[in-house]
Amino acid sequence: MAALARSLVYGTLFLGLTVVYLPARVLAWTGAQAPSRLGALPLIGLAVAGVGALVVLTCILAFAVRGKGTPAPFDPPRRLVQAGLYRHVRNPMYAGDGLIVLGVGIYFGSLAVVGYAACFLLAAHLFVCLYEEPKLRRLFGPEYDDYCATTPRWLPAPWRKR
């Protein structure tokens, strides 16, 4: 239960900064306004953001329940999480965050926010490659190496056998 509480606090703070506050600053800076009617594009944006939110929530729960830790680098899981969405890709939480921001950009029709989403995903990729993966290799050893060998980093590969 403590891991779940820590995960929710971290998730709220991280998401609050990266997918709420910073995109809101971009929207304010560019003067983007919410659509006056919900047409097809804003509805697509809401759906994309909703899928991203579901992905993130699922990941937070997986870290707390299965991993007995949080997604925070300073409070990592005690066990390697390889179930749920993590069975298909190694970094679904960052992908979910990116989907939320992309959905916001689509909803508002803001290329600047879509650009922010691309920058966020690039920063996440660099963070994963330069910090997170080496740390997980040290923490989980051969178990993590096997996981990396069978699970793609970002895009699901349904044709691969696990």
Instruction: Give the span between the Cα atoms of 21 and 43, in whole angstroms.
Output: 22
Instruction: Give the span between the Cα atoms of 32 and 115, in whole angstroms.
Output: 14
Q: Give CA 110 to chain center in angstroms.
A: 20
How is domain 2-150 classified at the architecture level of CATH?
Answer: Up-down Bundle (1.20)
Burial 123-135 (b: 16+ CB within 10 A, else e): ebeeebeeebbee
Q: Which of 66, 80, 60 is nearest to 144 (CA)?
A: 80
What is the chain's mean pLDDT, rounded? 90
Torsional class of 20: left (φ above 0), alpha (ψ -120 to 50), beta (otherwise) = alpha
Q: Please tell me the pTM assigned to this model.
A: 0.89
Please state the domain extents for the chain: 2-150
Average pLDDT over residues 29-38: 89
C-beta of residue 29 within 8 angstroms of C-beta of residue 70: no
What is the per-residue pLDDT for 162? 55
Q: Using 50, 70 and 90 to split pLDDT, how confident is the model at 102?
A: very high
pLDDT in tens, 61-74: 898 888 887 777 77
C-beta of residue 95 within 8 angstroms of C-beta of residue 54: no
Phi, psi of 38 (to 5 degrees): -90, 90
Contacts of 158 (CB under 8 A, 6+ apart): 88
What 3-state DSSP class applies to 83? coil
Out of 18-22, 50-54, 93-97, 152-156, least confident range: 18-22
161 pLDDT above the threshold of 90: no
